[in-house]
Chains A and B, each alone.
Chain A
Amino acid sequence: MEKKEAIRIENLTKVFKSRSSEVVALKNINLSVRDGEFLAIVGPSGCGKSTLLRILAGLEKQTEGNIYIKAKDSTKPLTAVVFQGDAVFPWMKVIENVEYGLRIRRVPPHERRRIATSYLRLMGLENFAHYYPHQLSGGMKQRVNVARAFASDPEILLMDEPFGALDEQNRLILQQELLRIWEGSGKTTVFITHSIDEAIFLGDRIVVMTAQPGRIKAILDVDLARPRDMLFMKSTPQFAELYKKVWELLREEVLKARK
């Protein structure tokens, strides 16, 4: 692996086999994710982008190909995932949820409480530490979800449409908050989304995937300065231009997928 590389994916193929059929979800994916980069992956539904993330997270095995993830610190977990939907454990208080990754790694209780509390504060949840998830709104639960992933301090942060189930206003607020925390952490992040806005707003680069089977169609650089502000960014010509580019690439795929 090269020095500035955090993840390298080589000739990755994933085939889902059932008794009657074979579905090629991902085909010949070659991708290199830079150290400290925010990589956004967009694609039509069913293009296998979530599958790619699940393989990176070790939840699924690839059929062919190799994945290398650079471990700079062997005491840290390789990956942590922010899942789509309601992935916060309802039987744990907010603070216990955020501590979960640390607890699994047997970080001493006192230490993990300190770390979790600092991330709760970052997410504006410090007053809700001892609430149970059912007492929280959807947006707050997703904040817990994000805090849990950050608190476990992984080498790579993986996010699978984390804000997909939120209403637009909450999504805007959470995107801005995620960006603020991410910019402070410098973590290599792979972010799956179907929203072009979100991909441009958050990403350093955008990977556009093809409809089934999922291949990499294009990789675009997002040359927008950080720290970013959604309102300001949307009014710039670069944003409009990039949006158009990504949409044209995606449109073909969406239409193809409909056939």
Chain B
Amino acid sequence: MNAVEGQLNQIAKGKVKTCEERRPHLTGILLHLLSFLSPLLLLVIWEILAKYGIVDVRLFSSPSRIFKTFLPLLSSGELVYHTLMSVQRIILGFLVGAIPGVVLGLSMGLFPPVKAMLEPIVAVTFPIPKLAIMPLILIIFGLGEASKIFTIAIGVFYLVLINTMAGVLNIDPLYMDVAKSFGASRLQFYTTVALPGALPMIFAGLKLGMGTALLLIVAAELSAARAGVGWMIWRSYDMFDIERMFCSLIVLALLGYIFSYVLDFIERIVIPWKNR
């Protein structure tokens, strides 16, 4: 290895600081500060507008009012209970949708007959809004947990399926040639090329699926639920309890953030080779 190449590699790995890196250090801190302060500023503006009656607190509430409602909700364990109910439904629904999505997506990507057989069915059923199927799901699965889990599952399923299939189909043919030229069997090709090659797209599908799961949990808990964050929102609506509604929205936002963080974390472990 020559010295220049070694050094280049160190730069690529971030061990050696280049000129460009040294200067804007201060700018970097300022930018971080700005990202941190802007939401706070928004809250302050909201509070002031509410305080002076420029926005109607009966409709828009105010940060301090929401905070006053939030603390007892949290300390009484009520919020935690509803959050855990929803989290359980999301995780179960996510798994029930994602696992068959990955399996079928891989099969459709790898075996043309499977793709030929299933693609028209997927193409026709995918565009149906999942909310439109909910009444049917309720009739079939009843009012219990199963219908809620299935609603989420079906939304996750399609996104994961389509992304997984695309992931397999988009693998560079060069990699297939390499596997073939070394005499890889079908099974060896699947495990050493097809699956790892499709992983980035599979994860893109899982992330999209997670977004849909959060969307569907609110809808699923609208009907025939007695617990959950979505249920809290609809309950607050019935009671015209704006503060409670905002508290539930905060929980949903946090859930979305945590789930995407967890998926990113898992992705980092499963796909350590991805250039980030």
**B-binding residues in A (CB < 8 A):** 54, 57-59, 77, 79-81, 83, 85-87, 89-93, 100-101, 103-105, 124-125, 127-128, 132-137, 139-140, 152, 173
Contacts and interface: CB of A to CB of B under 8 A. Distances in A.
Given A91-B196, A91-B199, A137-B8, A101 B182 contact: yes
Contacts of B141: none
B273 A90 contact: yes
Contacts of B226: none
A137 B273 contact: no
Contacts of B12: 135, 137
A90 B200 CA distance: 12
Contact of B174 (A57, A86, A101, A140): A86
A105 B183 contact: yes
**Interface residue SS majority, chain A:** loop
A134 B273 contact: yes
Given A124-B1, A132-B273, A87 B183 contact: no
A49 B13 CA distance: 38
A180 B43 CA distance: 69
B182 A127 contact: no
A81 B181 contact: yes
A89 B172 CA distance: 10
Contacts of B193: 89
A182 to B, nearest CB: 19
A135 B178 CA distance: 21
Given A91-B273, A104-B185, A140-B9, 14 more contacts: A59-B180, A77-B182, A81-B181, A83-B174, A83-B178, A83-B181, A87-B174, A89-B196, A91-B199, A104-B183, A104-B184, A127-B1, A128-B9, A134-B273
B192 to A, nearest CB: 7
B182 A83 contact: no
Contact of A104 (B2, B174, B188): B188
What 6 pairs between A and B have smallest CB-CB spacing?
A91-B196, A134-B275, A132-B273, A81-B181, A101-B182, A124-B1
19 contacts: A83-B174, A83-B181, A85-B174, A87-B178, A89-B192, A89-B196, A91-B197, A103-B192, A104-B182, A104-B184, A104-B185, A125-B1, A127-B1, A134-B275, A136-B9, A137-B8, A139-B5, A140-B1, A173-B2
Interface string B241-276: 000000000000000000000000000000111110
B56 interface: no
Contacts of A54: 177
Nearest to B177: A59
Contacts of A90: 273, 275
Which of A87, A104, A127, A134 has the largest number of chain B CB atoms within 10 A? A104
B175 interface: yes
Nearest to B184: A104
Contacts of A135: 9, 12-13
Contact of A80 (B174, B182, B185, B275): B182
